[in-house]
Amino acid sequence: MKYAAIKNFYNGEFHESSAETLDVTSPLDGNHLSTVPLSSKSELDKAVESAKSAFDGWSNTTIKDRVQVFFRYRYLLEKYADELTELVTEENGKTLDEARAEIDKSIELTEFAVSLPQLVAGEILEVSRGVECRTEHFPLGVVASIAPFNFPFMVPNWTMPNALALGNTMVMKPSEVVPLSAQRMAEILKEAGLPDGVFNVVNGGKEVVEGICEHEDIDAVSFVGSTKVAKIVYKAATSNLKRCVALGGAKNHLIVLPDANPTMTAENVTASMSGCAGQRCMAASAMVAVGEMNGIIDRVCEEARKVVPGKNLGAVISKEAKERIEGYITQAEKDGAKILVDGRGATVDGKEGGTYVGPTVIDYVKPDMSVATEEIFGPVISIMRTDTVDEAIEIENANPYGNASSVYTDNGGMARYVMERASAGMVGVNIGVPVPREPFSFGGWNESRFGANDITGKSSIEFWTKLKKTTTKWNPEAGINWMS
Ligand code: NAD
């Protein structure tokens, strides 16, 4: 085992768990990296108690002081960027470039958090003679963040810097499949000078998540993962009267019009569907080709063949994931679709224990096939063909998810037409992965997000705080009126 056994983190220290453990294995080669505890609810209680005890001290520090920790945290992310990149690659299986992008994005997220003092200043107005109303953002208390496997470092950084800078204390529950990055994050925050108890980590699975949703001392829950679990978490947290935002799965459509630039479109489609081995909630999963494609699909195939497992394509997370993805491809073939590029059975020499799926292009997919409707979460693009843009929009709109959608065209009017009608929270024009950069917020629509707020950016300020409205009168000569 390459790393020591994963521990929980509370009261500023690592604590060994007495719970049963799971093995943590690298998808790159099957190597045994560590073990992770499936912590019990009583271990969660200890972390919540730690966060609760730290809340008064931390929330009574000014925001300008709190963000000083995050200036240092940002510096440390740069200092440790190479080491963190390798850690993310090892535990998740993505390429080094993709892992490095996670660290870079975490730096950008932290830069947003340090700008929060500029954004959260309240408002003040003399509402009647001598009487003022003012607003201020107050932290909620102890908040929880539950993360998925596909971005072991970035997704925890979607929530942690903003929630903490705004004065909350946090319990983080990383994915039990990739627990190493969050453990390192706790160490780096301590080195940055974060007071003990402000950030805590409890490792585990379903039992810890259930405990979070029920816990009377947790005020808000953020979740990122599959739609199936997002629904469970949203229902459980809100039925226990907690604030909740739960981001779910995705099935993102790229609508390609005949006038699209062939080279740019083919490169974008391929990069979007195969980046992070298709395990991104923003990955293109379906391409709707409208009318005559002028060789664009041939070029997508050419580009896809340049994407090679073990070289510029990482591994998928597990043996089960590989089997599931290959099962979808086989089903599409049985249903009559045409496999133009086939990634089944991919292996990498010297890494026989790794779990790889090659890039896969499937053409002549019908809108009711499982590869057209379901989230595959692998490097697979399902191409459907339509005669009109309205038919393409109908297919996109019929999907229950609504994370991202993009249109490829050289015609501004057509781009606007699709952008207005796409049923997705994040829309791209000639962009394959339309992730909003800070300060714009991240969040889908429909079954890709439950709850009123986005998870990052300005929208997250409303999620992580409650607004206090204070009305003040000092001078008796201001008099009494109908509002006094
Ligand atoms: P997952 O839903 O299986 O797990 C997410 C978290 O929930 C993990 O921490 C896990 O321990 C916990 N969990 C799993 N099953 C549970 C259960 N039955 N009850 C309570 N908790 C449970 O998701 P995953 O496989 O880790 O991640 C992949 C999914 O996440 C994909 O569907 C992907 O689209 C989605 N995702 C969405 C976004 C977004 O922004 N919308 C971002 C990243 C990932």
pLDDT digits (tens, 9 = 90+) for 98-125: 999 999 999 999 999 999 999 999 999 9
The string of DSSP letters for 255-310 reads EE-TTS-HHHHHHHHHHHHHGGGG--TTSEEEEEEES--TTHHHHHHHHHHT--BT
Q: Taking CA 172 as the corner, what is the angle to CA 70 and CA 22, rounded to the nearest 5 degrees?
A: 130
What is the residue type of 421?
Answer: R
Cα-to-centroid distance, 224 and ligand 1 (Å): 6
* Interatomic CA distance for residues 29 and 228, integer angstroms: 29
Residue 142 belongs to some domain of the structure = yes
What is the residue type of 340?
Answer: L
Same domain, 366 and 389: yes
* Rounded (10°) CA dihedral 214, 247, 438, 9: 40
Q: Which atom of ligand 1 is nearest to the CA of 210?
A: 20
What's the pLDDT at 478?
75
Ligand 1: residue whose CA is nearest its atom 24: 148
What's the pLDDT at 289?
98
Full residue range of the structural domain in which residue 350 is found: 252-400+404-429
Same domain, 203 and 281: no
Same domain, 417 and 460: no
Any bridge partners for residue 9, and if so which?
14, 201
Which residues, at least 6 apart from 278, have a Cβ–Cβ distance to it below 8 Å?
A: 285, 316, 325, 357, 376, 377, 378, 379, 380
Same domain, 389 and 447: no
Same domain, 239 and 260: no
Task: Report the run of H or E that residue 391 belongs to, with start and end.
Answer: helix 389-398
Are residues 435 and 250 in contact, defined by beta-carbon separation less than 8 angstroms? no
Encode the chain (484 residues) as per-residue pLDDT tens digits. 999 999 999 999 999 999 999 999 999 999 999 999 999 999 999 999 999 999 999 999 999 999 999 999 999 999 999 999 999 999 999 999 999 999 999 999 999 999 999 999 999 999 988 899 999 999 999 999 999 999 999 999 999 999 999 999 999 999 999 999 999 999 999 999 999 999 999 999 999 999 999 999 999 999 999 999 999 999 999 999 999 999 999 999 999 999 999 999 999 999 999 999 999 999 999 999 999 988 999 999 999 999 999 999 999 999 999 999 999 999 999 999 999 999 999 999 999 999 999 999 999 999 999 999 999 999 999 999 999 999 999 999 999 999 999 999 999 999 999 999 999 999 999 999 999 999 999 999 999 999 999 999 999 999 999 999 999 998 887 777 666 5
Query: What CATH number is associated with residue 242?
Result: 3.40.605.10
Number of domain units in the chain: 2
Any bridge partners for residue 30, and if so which?
none
Are residues 144 and 222 in contact, defined by beta-carbon separation less than 8 angstroms? yes
Cα-to-centroid distance, 329 and ligand 1 (Å): 23
pTM (2 d.p.): 0.97
Same domain, 157 and 264: no
Same domain, 79 and 186: yes
Ligand 1: residue whose CA is nearest its atom 9: 175
Nearest to 225 by CA among 241, 212, 216: 212
What's the pLDDT at 476?
80
Q: Which atom of ligand 1 is nearest to the CA of 375?
A: 32
Query: What CATH number is associated with residue 279?
Result: 3.40.309.10
Surface-to-core class of residue 391, CB atoms within 10 Å of its CB (0-12 exposed, 13-18 middle, 19+ buried): middle
Same domain, 73 and 108: yes
Ligand 1: residue whose CA is nearest its atom 14: 206
What is the residue type of 143?
Answer: V
CB atoms near residue 239 (< 10 Å): 11
Same domain, 238 and 224: yes
* Rounded (10°) CA dihedral 339, 341, 347, 353: -60
Same domain, 356 and 422: yes
Residue 2 belongs to some domain of the structure = no
Residue 191 belongs to some domain of the structure = yes
- The catalytic residue positions are 281
Same domain, 411 and 344: yes
Query: For ligand 1, which residues put their CB under 6 angstroms from it?
Result: 146-150, 155, 173, 175-176, 205-206, 209, 224-226, 229, 232, 247-250, 281, 375, 377, 403, 444, 448
Cα-to-centroid distance, 156 and ligand 1 (Å): 13
Residue 483 belongs to some domain of the structure = no
Nearest to 10 by CA among 57, 58, 47: 47
Same domain, 243 and 321: no
Q: Which two tokens stand for residue 114?
A: 């340090």
What's the pLDDT at 480?
73
